[in-house]
A and B are shown apart, each in its own frame.
Chain A
Amino acid sequence: DTAVSQTPKYLVTQMGNDKSIKCEQNLGHDTMYWYKQDSKKFLKIMFSYNNKELIINETVPNRFSPKSPDKAHLNLHINSLELGDSAVYFCASSQDYGGGRGQYFGPGTRLTVT
């Protein structure tokens, strides 16, 4: 029944490793997003993606890359992890591009880089 799901919920890894976070939505939405929430709770958009267009926040390092095998999935790959990547990462989806009618969020993945 979960609308937007993410795995894993917790991820602890060492600097320099490569990791992936998976996201799936069963709402039939066309657009999916990745957000990063830092320790001060500031939520920052990383990517917006639908089957036509990927918009990357220019401040996101190219070590981060979204991969979408199909419309229901948007995975986040992170290469050469750094300490500053520690945060909670949220996947979200929306019916419209931009989320102007509301976005549905996953439960988050807490990434800790040691």
Chain B
Amino acid sequence: SQQGEEDPQALSIQEGENATMNCSYKTSINNLQWYRQNSGRGLVHLILIRSNEREKHSGRLRVTLDTSKKSSSLLITASRAADTASYFCATDGDSGNTPLVFGKGTRLSVIA
């Protein structure tokens, strides 16, 4: 069954603005990951946050995790046209050896 649900489904911003995408999930997790998919390409792993972490940074990316609300957010600061892509969250179960379950993604368009 689908685990992650991204919100919003689509987001359009101007270059230089910040973009925030949210992800909600249903069951307990070991970690939550964010991936980017450019049009016609495979997914690229961006960042992983463990269930005992609350915030993590990587370059212009900032991820937060609230396990009490079963939600995560991905913030992209100072967006660029090259950030235009779909962004997916993925979660794994806390029982180990469970495959990742992906949400439907947020389609981000950054307008130059």
Contact = CB atoms under 8 A, between A and B. Distances in A.
Interface stretch (A12-20, A74-82, A96-104): A96-104
Contacts of B104: 40-42
A45 B90 CA distance: 11
B20 interface: no
SS of B interface (majority): strand
Contact of B43 (A42, A43, A45, A55): A43
B31 to A, nearest CB: 6
Nearest to B50: A100
B101 interface: yes
B68 to A, nearest CB: 21
Interface in B75-112: 86, 88, 90, 92, 96-102, 104-105, 107
Nearest to B43: A105
B97 A98 contact: yes
B39 to A, nearest CB: 10
Contacts of A106: 42
B33 A33 contact: no
B99 A45 contact: yes
Interface of B: 2, 30-31, 33, 35, 37, 40-45, 48, 86, 88, 90, 92, 96-102, 104-105, 107
Interface of A: 4, 33, 35, 40-45, 48, 55, 90, 92, 97-108
